[in-house]
Structure 1
Amino acid sequence: MDDEFKQKVLQQLDQIESRIALLERNQHLIAAGQRRESLRSLWRRPPMWTFEQYPPRLLNLNSFQPTPSPPANAPRIAMVTPSYNHVHYLDATIDSILNQNYPNLHYHVQDGASIDGTVELLSKRGNGLSWRSEPDKGQSNAINIGFSGVDCEIMAYLNSDDMLLPGTLAYVADYFMSHPDIDIVYGHRVFVDRDGLEVGRAVLPPYHGKTLQYADYIPQETMFWRKRVWDKVGPIDESFHFAMDWDFILRAQAAGFKFVRLPRFLSCFRIHDAQKTAATYAVGVKEMGILRRRVLGFDPTQAEIRRVIAPYLALQIAYHYGYKLGLLKY
């Protein structure tokens, strides 16, 4: 890890530790007798990978940055939602996109022949989106079908149980328009439960390419990219069923495309028992191993992975507490 990055980590941690100590002494933020969360515990479960951080509560949209207006001459954004038997969540996903009121949007739901009422739901949605329901070869295949032949400038996919936060499309479009050299963006995420109640937040440090070769820290539901990325490295590799987003990200990084972490919460990642992420963990471990071997040229041990990503995790902990204490505003 480069010395400049290590120095930034240490500076951030020193600032956070000093502020925490001051607040604990003067404002009694931690009640008497309450044990402080150990550093060891934070390393085991860093905040960005700890989904349920507190009891469920209503999602307070007023706690985020104000919703911007879409830019003039708004670029064409194409979004695809791959779906299969997620009728319980799909309506909220669709609403989160269409309620952005983005003026130049192509939105398509590609359903894998669901039998849970999804087709009936889609039939009632009316204008604003296109959809098809037919057998497919999995999520990656559905995403590729959804993007087939689409004319656009910006692309993203949102799974059928996740949600965009208000203003995301306008904010992303404005950023791309004012930063023509940037190819891929992503942002902070909110964790919600099956009922849409907030259970956690993940505030991420800026993009760091070396860390990304060892661990995927980019929240897929917050990621948008220019079509030129898709044209060069796409489509989604359909041999992957879990780590397809990390594969796409690594191919884009290897091709020299520029990434930026935006200073804004962009989307909500839903936690529930039936989600694919929980149900196919073994497949994910295998696919992540394949990607590490391809990118690094060897199989790193868990100790090697932890050693390389440790500075990034330390910085993420600093950002987490900086946001929690009000030192960072998003």
Structure 2
Amino acid sequence: MSLPLVIRIRDALLHPLWRTLQRVGILRLGRLAQYPPRELKREVFPPSALAPEGLPSLAIVVPSYQQADFLDCTLESIFSQGYPRLTVAVQDGGSRDGTAAVLEKYAPQLSSCVSQPDGGQADAIVKGFVKVAGDIMAWLNADDLLMPGTLQFVGEFFATHPEVDVIYGHRVLVDELGREIGRWILPPHDAETLRRIDYVPQETLFWRKSLWEKAGGVNPRFHFALDWDLLLRFHRAGATICRLPYFLGCFRVHGAQKTQAQKSTGREEIHELQIREHGRAISADELEFWSRKTQLRGAWCAGLLRCGIRR
């Protein structure tokens, strides 16, 4: 029996149940607004166990363009953590919206601070990583946030799990004012799911420099699927990827994120990656199958988390 036929039969049988699960709010993974704004609830990480000298060095790049309203909060979310071995570069695309004043404020703490035209987000990330050094790497978009305590937790995890190359975690959704409006609880990592859809919250993603060099880093030709492309190449390079059951970052939802033209470009890049991975475009039915599977697995983990079980 073909997969499309299986999907149609399954949908006919389970569609009413699926709609009910969505209506009562059990299936939240993928939704950008889930409840009225509330105060951000901070994550509770395990107690620190390593001295500063036992932590790996971290390098973070912040690509930025016309994000003055959020950039201050983004940088504060990094530097307020007090991580002892940290280098941060801001690579701004020549903003004219007040970004310069924010960069001046943080200049003493930044390892590199450049504001000039570039080729887009991926190009800015590539240029930024040339100017910082660290055993562990990440980028944080200029409108997103790190959860307080994330860097210590991430540093300790990499220090005590040398077999793991890449980590990511759960995501908190926040509005323009930094108020919590939702949560994505991700299921444990699954390589076959990643080859078809990308639910990995980019602002929670950290990896080893050795893997970055092996995989070739970010491809500056991509503008929207750059993180999925990087993850797929990490996987091809033999990386051990692990989803950690903690909220590591906050994704800011606001009106200036994507235009209709940008969405079109995103679809083109996703199509290109599908062809590269599978030799064909993935049908809407197949995408729906993997998406629903991931949402159900995420809902199961959410249920466990409400019972105090992190899985």
TM-score clears 0.5? yes
Distance 1:88 1:70, change over 3 A: farther
Distance 1:42 1:301, change over 3 A: farther
Report the alpha carbon displacement of residue 152 of structure 1 after superposing the two structures with TM.
1.6
- Aligned-partner Cα distance in 2 for 1:69–1:277: 45
CA contact (8 A) 2:224 2:265 kept: yes
- Aligned-partner Cα distance in 1 for 2:259–2:219: 18
The CA deviation string for residues 45-71 of structure 1, in whole angstroms up to 9 with x for no partner, is: 94121111100011122x533674764
The CA deviation string for residues 84-140 of structure 1, in whole angstroms up to 9 with x for no partner, is: 010000000000000010000001111100000101221122421131111101000
Distance 1:70 1:178, change over 3 A: closer
Report the counterpart of residue 6 of structure 1 in structure 2: none
Structure 2 residue identity aligned to 1:251: R
Taking the TM superposition and a 5 Å limit, the aligned residue runs for 1:170-209 are: 170-209=152-191
- Aligned-partner Cα distance in 2 for 1:270–1:116: 19
- Aligned-partner Cα distance in 2 for 1:252–1:192: 29
Report the counterpart of residue 59 of structure 2 in structure 1: 78
CA contact (8 A) 1:70 1:102 kept: no
CA contact (8 A) 2:301 2:310 kept: no
- Aligned-partner Cα distance in 2 for 1:124–1:113: 17
Most deviating of 282-291 and 159-168:
282-291
Most deviating of 100-109 and 141-150:
141-150
TM-score normalised by L of structure 1 = 0.83
Report the counterpart of residue 28 of structure 1 in structure 2: none
Report the counterpart of residue 245 of structure 1 in structure 2: 227
1:229 and 2:229 aligned: no
CA contact (8 A) 1:192 1:268 kept: yes
1:98 and 2:83 aligned: no
Q: Tell me, what secondary structure is at the counterpart of 1:125? A: helix
Identity of aligned residues (%): 42
Report the counterpart of residue 30 of structure 1 in structure 2: none
- Aligned-partner Cα distance in 1 for 2:49–2:240: 26
1:88 and 2:88 aligned: no
Distance 1:249 1:89, change over 3 A: same
Report the counterpart of residue 246 of structure 2 in structure 1: 264
- Aligned-partner Cα distance in 2 for 1:206–1:72: 29
Q: Tell me which of 115, 130, 137 is aligned to 1:133.
A: 115
- Aligned-partner Cα distance in 1 for 2:65–2:117: 10
Q: Tell me, what secondary structure is at the counterpart of 1:124? A: helix
CA contact (8 A) 2:89 2:132 kept: no
Most deviating of 214-223 and 149-158:
149-158
- Aligned-partner Cα distance in 1 for 2:184–2:290: 20
CA contact (8 A) 1:67 1:167 kept: no
Report the alpha carbon displacement of residue 319 of structure 1 after superposing the two structures with TM.
1.7
Q: Tell me which of 69, 92, 98 is aligned to 1:117.
A: 98
Runs of at least 4 residues off by over 4 Å: 41-46
Taking the TM superposition and a 5 Å limit, the aligned residue runs for 1:204-219 are: 204-219=186-201
Structure 2 residue identity aligned to 1:103: P
1:160 and 2:123 aligned: no
Report the alpha carbon displacement of residue 305 of structure 1 after superposing the two structures with TM.
1.9
1:64 and 2:50 aligned: no
- Cα RMSD of the aligned pairs, angstroms, is 2.2
Structure 1 residue identity aligned to 2:18: L
CA contact (8 A) 1:242 1:277 kept: no
Structure 1 residue identity aligned to 2:163: D
